[in-house]
Amino acid sequence: MVNFRFQPLISSPWLIFCVALLLRLSFLFHEALQVPAVALATIPFQNEVGSVAAALAQGRGFCCVFHQPTGPTAWLAPVYPFFLASIFKMFGIFTVASFYAAACFNCVFSALVCLPLFYAALRIGNRATAVAAGWLWAIFPSGILIPFEWIWDTSLSALLAITLLWSTFRLADDARRRNFILYGLFCGFCLLVNPALGAVLPFLLLWIYFRLNLFALRRLVHIALVVSLAILVCLPWTIRNAVQFHRFIPIRSDFPFELWMGNNPIYDEHSRQLNRITRYEEVRRYSQLGETAFLEDKRRVAREFIRTHPALALQLAGKRAVAIWAGTPTPWQDFQRGDSNLARFIIFWNALTALGVATGLACLFFASRGFLLPVAAFPVAFPLVYYLTQASLRLRHPCDPALALLMALAITWPSLRTTAHANAG
């Protein structure tokens, strides 16, 4: 009787959201109170986002990506630096108050994931699947850790990614032109926050095309409308980049640098070059060459390394693939020699997540095959670029809500089979 009485409350997506927010805020304040105020006010912003946001807040424009007056940059997508700049204007540049404001917003973004995740899971499975997905996200370790550890677009990107999936499902059910317009505008906004989300868009649009109960030509018109509006949203920023750099940069320019970071002579034990990479040296070279020449040099070196070391480049890509899913390229060794219970738990959770994702994909194939393409796009297509460049759980994080959804499908597989048999009968 007690369980029955409290079941509606426990299965409420708003309760799950509140618990998720409480867990994230609790971790934030617990960790922040152990850090000296002077460090809290500066260290979280000593990255590209903090540098550009500070320049924007000071009225210098979208520039100075490495805390130096190096001129305009296209290193980053524009939305989050402008968002952080607005926080700097309200609470001060590099202040404790700005840190808490940015981190609290990250916590809210991360907790809000529970809502579209709940309804996306409900659309694919049943209410048990939705409740399981929501609670899994509420306790998802990366969802709790990252809002504190990274003042970046990471938590916002996770919210946008799962909202994109949920809105894709809704669009297929309601094919009014207005909904396609809103969806196209939303896709453009997502790209301006995190262009990596563009990796899943072709699969989502392909799924919508085949899902719509319309004539082929009308389906093509609707998809073209979405693509056109997404491009239109990004166009002002692309024009700005063309004016500043005299070349085509759709949103951000840093891919050659990321490719070089993962593919350069430092990984070749037989290389005669100076095998080290220091931030000081790279910033100095960036300042000397300018952004365009600097990135062209990195592109050339990375391509040459891959061309001359194909086996090593493939081996490095494999290690990055393991790191994306395990958090480290050597998970078993790191688990054995880890000196922190938290580190061991994260490795264990990542292994559990990978197993849950594989099982969830199999369950989706057998129970709800019609939803396999859009959901699988997140764990399959989204991380591909990071296998080539750099790998970390932070970079994978935008697709983590979809991973929680797949884990929930694996957990509730027996109830999904029961529902499928009942519907068949």
Task: Inform me whether the pLDDT recorded for 421 exceeds 80.
Answer: no
Cα–Cα dist 20/134, whole Å: 9
Among 116-120, 215-219, 307-311, name the one with the lowest average pLDDT: 215-219
pLDDT class of 13 with cuts at 50, 70, 90: very high
| 20 pLDDT more than 70 | yes
Structural domain boundaries in the chain: 2-424
Question: What pLDDT, on a 0 to 100 scale, did the predictor assign at position 2?
Answer: 42
The whole-chain average pLDDT of the chain stands at: 92
Say if residue 88's pLDDT is above 80: yes
Q: Are 127 and 139 in contact (CB under 8 A)?
A: no
Question: What is residue 277's predicted lDDT score, i.e. its pLDDT?
Answer: 72
Condensed to tens digits (0 to 9), the pLDDT of residues 205-257 reads 999 999 988 788 889 999 999 999 999 999 999 999 999 999 999 999 999 99
Q: Is the pLDDT of residue 46 over 80?
A: yes
Q: What percent of the chain has pLDDT over 90?
A: 79
pLDDT band at 30 (very low <50, low <70, confident <90, very high): very high
Complete DSSP assignment for 304-332: HHHHH-HHHHHHHHHHHHHHHHHSSSSHH
At residue 282, does pLDDT exceed 60?
yes
Say what the pLDDT of residue 320 is. Answer: 96
- Answer whether residue 1 shows pLDDT above 50: no
Structure tokens of 38? Answer: 């002077």
Average pLDDT over residues 327-338: 87
- The most distant pair of C-alpha atoms in the chain lies apart, rounded to whole Å, by 74
Instruction: Give the three-class secondary structure for 151.
Output: coil
Q: What is the mean pLDDT of residues 9-32?
A: 95
Which of 361, 364, 335 lies closest to 348 in space, CA to CA? 335
Radius of gyration of the chain (CA): 23
278 or 88, which is more confident: 88
> What does the DSSP assignment read for 55-122?
HHHTTS-SB-TTSS---B--SS-SHHHHHHHHHHHHH-TT-HHHHHHHHHHHHHHHHHTHHHHHHHHH
Whether pTM > 0.85 for this model: the answer is: yes
Question: Is the pLDDT assigned to residue 420 strictly greater than 50?
Answer: no
DSSP H/E element including 7: helix 2-10
| pLDDT for the residue 272 | 63
- pLDDT by residue (tens digit) across 143-199? 999 999 999 999 999 999 999 999 999 998 888 999 999 999 999 999 999 999 999
What pLDDT is attached to residue 269?
75
The answer to whether the beta carbons of residues 402 and 204 sit under 8 Å apart is no
| Displacement of CA 207 from its chain's centroid (Å) | 21
Binned at pLDDT 50, 70 and 90, residue 7 comes out as: low
pLDDT at position 344 over 80: yes
If pLDDT is split at 50, 70 and 90, which confidence band does 425 have? very low
212 versus 294: the higher-pLDDT residue is 294
**CA–CA separation, 171 and 181 (whole Å):** 10
DSSP state of 250: S
Residue 424 has pLDDT above 70, yes or no: no
Q: Residue 274: its pLDDT value, please? A: 53
362 burial (CB, 10 Å; 0-12 / 13-18 / 19+) is middle
pLDDT above 70: percentage of residues in the chain:
95
Question: For residue 127, what is the enclosing H or E element?
Answer: helix 127-139
| Distance separating alpha carbons of residues 199 and 383, to the nearest angstrom | 9
378-397 in b/e form (b: 16+ CB < 10 A) is bbbbbbebbbbbbbebbbbb
Report CA dihedral (245, 248, 252, 253) to the nearest 10 degrees.
-70
